[in-house]
Amino acid sequence: MAMNFEYRVEGGDFTHAGYASSQVKKMLKQLGVESTVIKRVVVCLYEAEVNIVAHAWNGVIIITLDADNILMKLTDNGPGIADIELAMQKGYSTASPEVREMGFGAGMGLPNISANADRFVITSEPGRGTSLEITINLNGNAV
């Protein structure tokens, strides 16, 4: 049986950035998922969540959890990404000076997701928004 959870994310709201990641972490911990797997989920979800806050206008996170996998779907309304290959490069960032000053905007978010996900699909429509699908295998130790 699959479980679904939904979270809303507002662009520019750094105060609540990481809320969904923290809720999902608690849930996986309760389900007894291995800490190395939780770590990878948290890295992916936090980076994706912060990207909506830092780069988009608003978005929705849908988490689907079944016995084998966690699927994290993040869909935002925002400027989108014109050149995904470029955006995926380590160090590439269009973050504002204010955001960089906070220590975000190192251009390591998408590479971090890529390194920690078992499956990562990113699509974007410039001028409209961006969608991410991140899957991590739970090694059969949840739900």
Q: Which is nearer to ligand ADP, 27 or 113 (CB)?
A: 113
Question: Site map for Mg ion, 39-58, x if CB under 5 A?
Answer: ------------x-------
Neighbours of 84 (CB within 10 A): 13
Residue 72 interacting with ligand ADP (CB under 6 A): no
Question: Site map for ligand ADP, 34-63, x if CB under 6 A?
Answer: -------------x---xx-xxx-------
CA separation, residue 118 to residues 34, 63, 104, 114, 141 (Å):
15, 15, 24, 8, 16
Q: Which is nearer to another protein, 22 or 139 (CB)?
A: 22
> Looking at 25, 27, 87, 142, which residue binds another protein (CB under 8 A)?
25
Q: Identify residues 92-131 at the interface with Mg ion (CB under 5 A).
A: 109
- Residue at 83: amino acid letter: D
For the chain, state the CA radius of gyration.
15
Residue 103 interacting with another protein (CB under 8 A): yes
Partners of residue 71 on adjacent β-strands: 64, 135
CB 46 within 8 A of CB 21: yes
Return residues touching Mg ion (CB under 5 A): 51, 109
